[in-house]
Structure 1
Amino acid sequence: MDELVDILDNEGEFTGKTALKSEAHKNGWFHPTVHIWAYTKNGRILIQKRGADKETHPLLWDVSVAGHVGAGEKIMGAAIREVQEEIGLAITENDLEKIGVFKSIHNQGKELTDREFNHTYITELKIPLEKLQKQESEVEALALIPLFQFAEETWGMANSIKYVPHGMEYYKSVIKKIKEKL
């Protein structure tokens, strides 16, 4: 879905300009997104397989929930909205803990350069996987895997090609923060 997004500068500051998401991707303009990683107290992490029709990284495993922040939308509001839309889970601000903001550049060819500032959070998943309701247009599958397996496959590089390439430091930050909660 094409939506209006705020345009950011190279440091992640708002420029006061907005554009359609497709235009931001075509021109390689930075824009804000949210990433929410869900984990369970028994040391599992929720991952989603991106939909087959996704413009970027179709059918790769990725963050539990991710999405664009609409123009003028508050970051935290976007995080809460995206969790509800993508996995059918109602959460509040108190359920989210911010890890940080990560600059991300993915060149997908001449027509698409995705430049984002990913506002990244963790949240505890307190319901069983089968109770989640995936957004069919966005999410191919959901899985709960052991955190140690996720670590091996992402920054241990045992099977990194099945994941969206967010970079080792990004994945290390997520894993470290979740380990602190267990």
Structure 2
Amino acid sequence: MEEQVVLISEKDEVLGLMDKMQAHKNGILHRAFSVFLFNEKGEILLQKRAAEKYHSPNQWTNAVCSHPRVDETYMEGAQRRLKEELGIEAELTPKFHFIYKADVGGNLWEHELDHVFTGHYNGDFTLNSDEVSEIRFITMEALDEEIKSNPEHFTEWFKIILGEYKDRL
């Protein structure tokens, strides 16, 4: 069975469920979360999406970004995906939420109420190769330069969320 996303109003009122792919084809507003992880040096963790991903393959993005299930809170979903994608546990802090819409190519859209979390992690990772091909830590300054030089190497939503993060924190 294909994964479903929780459809919502702009006030985060549940409207129903929809197949994830269908929601992305139709650009329908749904719940999402994004996690920014930092190491002890203050560098941000990036993950490179696996080549097999149905959209935005081989692009760099934040540590974790996904959708809570119908029976999960945003925090529970974020914790679940840390384990599923990176094989880790980390204490997360909610920072802000906002709505955005991004064209991710292939006639697919991300239209999400995104809850953004931050955390710190300095241990080992066990990557899920179906989701992540590689990871790296980078300074914010170097990240800004890389995005400026090669924006196509990064997911559309990451560029939007990173901008919101910088504006709000």
- CA contact under 8 A between 1:8 and 1:14: conserved in structure 2? yes
**RMSD (CA atoms):** 2.2
Structure 1 match to 2:115: 119
User: Could you tell me how far apart the structure 2 residues matched to 1:84 and 1:171 are?
Assistant: 22
- Does residue 78 of structure 1 match 2:77? yes
Query: What does residue range 81-100 of structure 1 map to in structure 2 within 5 Å?
Result: 81-91=80-90, 95-100=91-96
Q: Percent identity?
A: 25
Q: TM-score, normalised by structure 1?
A: 0.81
Q: In the aligned structure 2, how far is the partner of 1:70 from the partner of 1:169?
A: 23
Equivalent residue runs for 1:143-182 within 5 Å = 143-154=136-147, 157-166=148-157, 170-175=161-166
**Residues 7-156 of structure 1: pairs in structure 2 closer than 5 A:** 7-9=7-9, 11-91=10-90, 95-107=91-103, 108-110=105-107, 112-127=108-123, 131-154=124-147
In 2: Cα distance, 1:16 partner to 1:169 partner = 25
**1:39–1:46 Cα contact (<8 Å) kept:** yes
**Gaps (5+ residues) in structure 1?**
none
Gaps of 5+ in 2: none
Q: For residue 77 of structure 1, what is the amino acid of its counterpart? A: E
Aligned length: 168
Give distance in 1, aligned partners of 2:25 and 2:37. Answer: 31
> How far 1:82 moved relative to its partner?
0.6
Deviations 1:45-102 (A, max 9, x none): 11000111112211110011111111232111001101111111123xxx21222113
TM-score (norm 2): 0.87
User: Separation in 2 of the partners of 1:140 and 1:88?
Assistant: 13
1:162 alignment partner AA: H
Native 8 Å contact 1:147 1:175 kept in 2: no
**Matched residue of 2:156: which SS?**
coil
User: Whole-Å Cα distance in 1 between the matches of residues 92 and 158 of structure 2?
Assistant: 22
